[in-house]
Each structure stands twice: as structure tokens, then as C-alpha cells.
Amino acid sequence: MCTYAEVTYKVHYVCVPCRQSRKLPWDGAEHLCTTCRAPMIFAGHDFAAPRRRDDRRWAAVAAVLQAGLRYEGFEPCGCGREPKYRPRTSAEVRARRRVASRKGLTESEALALRDA
């Protein structure tokens, strides 16, 4: 049975410069940040925002979202139970970027690696 098929869930949208996160309906509309009025980025169903003053974790969030990855713990329909790995600190992002340059991976592939 699909987890996300039965109920319409709100998803997380993020404004990285303002370090704000909102749960809004997934309706395809452009959602604007309440502070800077810039478009917010779709972060996925399972995003957990770091504390506002945690620079290392927000740098990792920015890198993940710029690489085109989302924070999804399940497959898009909710059937798969394999949580997706995402780096949590800027040091983990740097380590994965080094792996990407060594092994010839794209940045999004390297950021999705569980072990660097």
C-alpha cells in the first residue's frame, strides 16, 4: 500500500538565505518566503530544518538542494522503505565532493553516497 497515496501531505519548502522552512501544500504553485519574498525551494516530504544559527548544517542543506536532491525518506509514492542519505554538515559535503572529483561522479551522486 502506498504511504503517500491515501492522504494529501504537506511538503517542506525552504528559503536558505533566510533559513526558514514551511510546510505547504504540494500544488505546483510558486511559494514565496515571508521574509525576503524570494521563491522557496521544494525540499521534500522528510526535511528536518536545522537550527537557524547552525551554519554548518545550513551549508549542507544549501549544497544538497543546489545539487537537485530532495529530502525523501521513502520513494515518491511511499512504497519503498529505504531512507535516502543526505550529508548533515559542511565537512561531509566537502568529503563527498573530494570523492566525486577522485571517482568522476557527479555532485548529486556523490552527495547521495552513504559512506565517503
Nearest Cα residue to 67 out of 18, 113, 115: 113
- pLDDT, position 25: 86
pLDDT single digits (tens) 16-25: 999 999 999 8
Which residues pair with residue 11 across a beta bridge? Answer: 24
Q: How crowded is the C-beta side of 52, counted as CA atoms within 13 Å?
A: 6
Q: What is the reported pTM?
A: 0.79
Q: Which three cell numbers stand for residue 80?
A: 519503498
- Please report how the helices 90-103 and 55-66 are oriented relative to each other, as an axis angle in degrees rounded to 10: 40
Per-residue model confidence (pLDDT) at position 8: 73
Dump pLDDT digits (tens) for 46-104.
889 999 999 999 999 999 999 988 888 766 565 665 667 888 888 999 999 999 999 99
